[in-house]
Structure 1
Amino acid sequence: MNIFVAKLNFKTRKEDLQAAFEQFGEVSSAKIVLDRDTKRSKGFGFVEMPNDNEALQAIAALNEKELDGRVIVVKPANPKPANNY
């Protein structure tokens, strides 16, 4: 399951994000979205967990909890729209 994580501290690293979610199971990837020009965090990211049950537990446990001094928002990611050009 792909998980959207918002309101991240701009200093949070992908390793920090991954460690928070690994408490609930296997994490296949963690990514923090960076501004293309400044390379600074945009304050949100994505975590991929292969086991949906573990992902749902992580979402329930981490949503509106503090990570690196900020209260984060955690929810299932919306599917990426298809580019039909």
Structure 2
Amino acid sequence: MSKNLYVGNLSWTCTEDEVRTAFEAYGEVTSVKLIEDRETGRPRGFGFIEMDDSGARQAIEALDGTDFGGRNIKVNEAKAREERPRW
């Protein structure tokens, strides 16, 4: 079973490969998606990592609040996205 993690406060210069490498130290990473602004294409400083359940727990404990690329990142289990009305 896999878990979806939220990682926030990322440096705009960090890459998906750098994030994948950091999280792979704790378990099998299925996917990494760093979110970009739709209009400008610039990174928004957060993303989502999907990884195995036990590795996800270890990654949260080990990486939450640590320095990554010069910033203290926030790592926790991602919450389900709420449906928003389309205007």
* Structure 2 letter corresponding to 1:79: A
Task: Choose from 37, 41, 44 the match for 1:42.
Answer: 44
1:1-85 matches, within 5 Å, as 1-49=3-51, 51-81=52-82
TM-score (norm 1): 0.91
> How many residue pairs get matched?
84
Deviates more, 1:72-81 or 1:3-12: 72-81
Alpha-carbon shift at residue 81 of structure 1 (Å): 3.0
CA RMSD in angstroms, aligned pairs only: 1.6
* Structure 1 letter corresponding to 2:58: Q
**Percent of aligned pairs with the same residue?**
39
* Structure 2 letter corresponding to 1:47: I
* CA–CA separation in structure 1 for the residues paired with 2:62 and 2:44: 23
Alpha-carbon shift at residue 37 of structure 1 (Å): 1.1
TM-score (norm 2): 0.89
* 8 A contact 2:16–2:34 mirrored in 1: yes
Alpha-carbon shift at residue 53 of structure 1 (Å): 1.1
